Each structure stands twice: as structure tokens, then as C-alpha cells.
């Protein structure tokens, strides 16, 4: 259940960002895991997720290939990294286009109830995201967790997989609105809602996928753990800026930082718009990993305990979506794209747009058979643990967890096996 860098370093303004040797990239991955307390956590198998959609024409295949080569590229200060950042490559957050090993940390001052953000957040002058790295540590401090104090809550978020995100972008608004209406009529506590968001970037002059303008309101949030972003290209621009301090025409401003720097070692914009669009198209063109053998009995049990209400399948896509392989289809993304209250135990007290501190967008379950840890922070080592973690005070999933526990052992194994086959 889980956001982070959807980026690559091709077409940089003023510099060429070439992929680093495998050994160097591995060192960076190990460093990220240690710095985020994830040393030794296995979160993704050796999987075949880095595959394009089948039968792409030459133009789309070319864009995919360019992105694929660049996805593991490492940014350096001279290429616009920083001045503060979390990590400096996409692969350190989305190994094999799946989740992790990198993680982002959030920090917030909470009330005594452990869930509500306090009115005073002044102890975080540079925002709630931990960006511990700096391009010049001797001159500029990174943004790190302050000294412990009463009410300080620090949480982690693993980078989500990025495969199949084109399918999520292609789903019709009307489908997501239908699911919201249907859930509003339920009487079992499940009632997801759309996170209506604004377009927070400068306009993308390439309008093949959308023509949103800065400040456009009422968009359906689809991407990020709390569905705070509506489109793949804005997600890419946001990740460049937020994770690596890489500015672009869509996100031209450097991150606030302790040094007060308004630029870095690469003056002006760090990458051009084509790079952002190439990153976005690469993600849009990643196929959903091949499913394992489906156990129909396990699938029926999945539906019977109401898991399928939120983890929805067979959603209609826009017949006019620019990538033919996603257009006019029914896709099994296993998410309703809606926000749900998941209760006290999963609350991180972070407000993202209209999303509350205990709300999360339903995590897509596609590609689950390639993951080795679950939930937004990797707290669950097995699918069964993840199911049980849905239950806590105030969670919309409590009745579903109770229904799962009411199944006999064989039925529980069948349901888990179905999820593990996705």
C-alpha cells in the first residue's frame, strides 16, 4: 500500500546523466535501506515487471526503451541534484519498477490522541518530509528529524511499484465516481471517497494526455499513497522535485532548505519538459506483470469477505486514452482509487490535500506475487499479516477482517493464495 520518485535522468538540461555501473547502484540501494531502517528487509522478488506493453508501435517502443535505459541513472550535483534530497536515482526507490528498497519518512507533531495533527507545526520549517541528504553537508544541513519531543510522530513510506500505472490513469472518471456512489449506499462501514485535487504544477505544453492548467480544481486524485496527484506526468515532475531536488518546467522551484539556496550547482532548470514526459510515458507503458494461476475458489472467497469492494477489478478505461493497449479495456488493477479510513493503527497524521491522517487510497494489488512485504511501510511480511493489519479502531475494513477470520483454515489459505497469485 503504498509514492516516491517516478523519474529518470535522460535529456537533462546542460548535462547528460548516464546510468552508473551496477555495483555503484547497488551500493546506493544498500545505503538507502540502512538510512531508513530497512537493512535486511526483502521487499521485492527477482521479477519480470520491467516489461513494456505488447505490440507497441515504433514510436512508443522507442520512448519505452529510452526510459528503460535511463531509469537506473544516478543524478549528481552538477546535474541538478539537491540542494537537499532523499535519494539520487529512481532505482533506489523502484527496483525493477517494483517497490523499494528506498523509503521516504514523514514527521508531524500530533495531539494526545495519537492521530490528529497539532495546530503548531513550526518545528518543521522546511516541511514534513525528511530529506537528510545535502549536496554540501559541510555548508548546508539536510532536513532531518528534530530532537525527540512529546507528540513527535515519524513514519515511513516505501516507494510503490510503478508498473500498470498507465492502466490506472486510463480508468474513466465515471468508473471511479460510480464506485464512490455505490459505496456511499452501503451499510457495512465501507464508504470510500474521491480525493478531489488541484493541478499543482505549471502546465504541460504537451497535451496528448490532458490539458490541465495551474490551479485547476476538482480533479480525481489517483497517484500517491493518499491519491494526491491526478496524472502520471505531474507525479513524475513532483517526484523529481520532491525526492531529488530536480527542477523542471512543471516544477521550477528548488525545495526550501536550511541554506536558503534558490538554485543548485546547475543554474536554472535541471531537466527539460521532454525528460518529464519521457519519464511519464515510460511508466505509462509498463505492463501489469503476468498473473499466476488463478484459484477461482480463492477469488470467490476474496469477494465474499468484501475485499473486492475496495480492491476492485474489471474497471473500464477511456476509449480515447492515447495508448491503444490501455484504451477501451477492462483492467484488473484491484483498487477503487478511493480514500478509506483505515483506523488508528495505520494513521500517520499526515494530511495530503483533502486526505485525512487516517485515510489511504486503496493500494493496487496487481503484481502482488512479486512483492515480499506489504502495507505502505512494509510492516507486513506476509499477505495474511497484511490482511490482519487492516483491522484497528475506526477502520472501514474491520468487518472484512472479521469475515476472513471466520473462514476455516483451508479457506483462509485459498483466499491468501489468490492474492499471492495477482
Number of H helices, E strands in the chain: 11, 10
* pLDDT of amino acid 96: 54
CA-wise closest residue to 346 among 191, 168, 115: 115
Q: How many residues does the chain have?
A: 422
Residue linked to cell 551496477: 22
φ, ψ of residue 210 to 5 degrees: the values are: -170, 170
- Cα–Cα distance measured from residue 33 to residue 156, given in angstroms and rounded to the nearest whole number: 12
Instruction: Show the domains of the chain with their CATH numbers.
Output: 296-421 (1.10.760.10)
CA-wise closest residue to 38 among 180, 156, 167: 156
Torsion sign across C-alpha atoms 186, 191, 192, 196: positive
- Cα–Cα distance measured from residue 223 to residue 332, given in angstroms and rounded to the nearest whole number: 16
CA-wise closest residue to 244 among 11, 20, 82: 82
* pLDDT of amino acid 94: 56
* pLDDT of amino acid 160: 83
Instruction: Specify whether the CB–CB gap between 255 and 262 falls below 8 A.
Output: no
Quick one: 113 exposed, middle or buried, by C-beta within 10 A (0-12, 13-18, 19+)? exposed
* pLDDT of amino acid 88: 80
Task: Give pTM, 2 decimals.
Answer: 0.87
- Cα–Cα distance measured from residue 65 to residue 5, given in angstroms and rounded to the nearest whole number: 19
* pLDDT of amino acid 137: 92
- Cα–Cα distance measured from residue 385 to residue 416, given in angstroms and rounded to the nearest whole number: 10
Q: How far is CA 193 from the centre of its chain?
A: 18
Per DSSP, the three-state class of 155 is: strand
Quick one: 172 exposed, middle or buried, by C-beta within 10 A (0-12, 13-18, 19+)? middle
- Cα–Cα distance measured from residue 152 to residue 114, given in angstroms and rounded to the nearest whole number: 9
* pLDDT of amino acid 93: 61
Mode of pairing for the β-strands spanning 359-361 and 133-134: unpaired
* pLDDT of amino acid 31: 38
b/e map 390-402, b = 16+ CB within 10 Å: bbbeebbbbebbe
Q: What is the pLDDT along the chain (422 residues), one digit of tens a residue?
A: 333 333 333 333 333 333 232 333 323 233 333 344 444 434 444 444 678 999 999 999 999 988 776 666 789 999 999 999 998 876 566 555 555 556 889 999 999 988 899 999 999 999 999 999 999 999 899 999 999 999 999 999 988 888 999 999 999 999 999 999 999 999 999 999 999 999 999 999 999 999 999 999 999 999 999 999 999 999 999 999 999 999 999 999 999 999 999 999 999 999 999 999 999 999 999 999 988 788 899 999 999 999 999 999 999 999 999 999 999 999 999 999 999 999 999 999 999 888 999 999 999 999 998 888 899 999 999 999 999 999 999 999 999 999 999 999 999 999 999 999 99
Per DSSP, the three-state class of 133 is: strand
3-state helix, strand, coil in the chain (%, to 5): 30, 15, 55
Per DSSP, the three-state class of 85 is: strand
R_g of the chain computed on alpha carbons: 21
Residue linked to cell 540502512: 34
Distances (CA, A) of 76 to 17, 82, 83, 84, 93: 8, 9, 11, 12, 17
Amino acid at each position: 500500500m503504498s509514492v516516491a520518485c517516478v523519474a529518470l535522468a535522460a535529456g537533462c538540461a546542460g548535462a547528460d546523466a548516464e546510468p552508473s555501473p551496477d555495483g555503484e547502484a547497488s551500493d546506493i540501494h544498500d545505503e538507502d535501506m540502512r538510512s531508513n531502517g530497512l537493512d535486511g528487509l526483502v521487499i521485492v522478488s527477482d521479477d519480470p515487471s520491467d516489461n513494456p506493453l505488447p505490440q507497441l508501435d515504433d514510436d512508443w517502443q522507442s520512448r519505452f526503451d529510452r526510459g528503460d535505459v535511463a531509469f537506473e541513472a544516478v543524478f549528481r550535483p552538477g546535474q541538478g541534484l539537491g540542494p537537499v534530497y532523499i535519494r539520487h536515482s529512481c532505482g533506489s526507490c523502484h527496483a525493477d519498477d517494483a517497490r523499494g528498497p528506498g523509503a521516504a519518512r514523514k514527521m508531524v507533531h500530533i495531539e494526545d490522541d495519537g492521530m490528529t495533527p497539532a495546530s503548531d507545526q513550526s518545528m518543521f520549517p522546511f516541511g514534513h518530509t525528511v530529506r537528510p541528504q545535502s549536496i554540501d553537508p559541510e555548508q548546508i544541513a539536510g532536513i532531518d528529524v528534530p530532537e525527540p519531543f512529546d507528540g513527535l510522530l515519524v513514519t515511513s513510506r516505501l516507494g510503490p511499484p510503478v508498473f500498470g500505472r498507465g492502466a490506472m490513469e486510463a480508468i474513466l472518471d465515471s468508473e471511479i465516481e460510480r464506485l464512490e456512489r455505490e459505496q456511499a449506499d452501503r451499510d457495512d462501514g465501507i464508504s470510500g471517497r474521491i480525493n478531489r485535487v488541484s493541478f499543482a504544477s505549471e502546465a504541460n505544453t504537451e497535451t496528448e494526455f490532458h490539458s490541465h492548467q495551474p490551479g485547476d480544481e476538482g480533479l480525481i486524485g489517483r497517484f500517491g499513497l493518499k491519491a494526491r496527484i491526478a496524472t502520471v506526468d505531474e507525479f513524475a515532475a513532483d517526484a523529481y522535485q520532491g525526492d531529488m531536488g530536480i527542477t523542471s518546467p512543471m516544477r521550477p522551484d528548488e525545495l526550501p532548505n536550511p541554506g536558503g539556496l534558490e538554485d543548485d550547482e546547475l543554474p536554472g532548470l535541471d531537466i527539460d519538459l521532454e525528460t518529464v514526459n519521457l519519464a511519464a510515458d515510460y511508466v505509462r507503458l509498463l505492463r501489469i506483470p503476468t498473473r499466476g494461476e488463478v484459484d477461482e475458489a480463492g477469488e470467490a472467497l476474496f469477494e465474499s469477505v468484501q475485499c473486492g469492494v475496495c480492491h476492485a477489478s474489471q474497471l473500464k478505461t477511456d476509449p480515447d486514452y492515447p495508448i491503444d493497449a490501455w484504451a477501451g479495456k477492462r483492467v484488473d488493477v484491484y483498487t477503487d482509487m478511493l480514500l478509506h479510513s483505515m483506523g488508528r493503527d495505520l494513521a500517520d497524521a499526515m494530511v495530503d490535500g483533502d486526505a485525512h491522517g487516517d485515510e489511504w487510497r486503496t493500494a493496487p494489488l496487481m503484481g502482488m506475487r512479486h512483492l515480499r512485504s506489504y502495507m505502505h511501510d512494509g510492516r507486513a511480511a506476509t499477505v495474511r499479516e497484511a490482511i490482519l493489519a487492516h483491522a484497528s479502531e475506526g477502520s472501514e475494513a474491520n468487518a472484512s477482517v472479521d469475515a476472513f477470520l471466520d473462514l476455516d483454515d483451508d479457506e483462509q489459505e485459498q483466499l491468501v493464495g489468490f492474492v499471492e497469485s495477482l
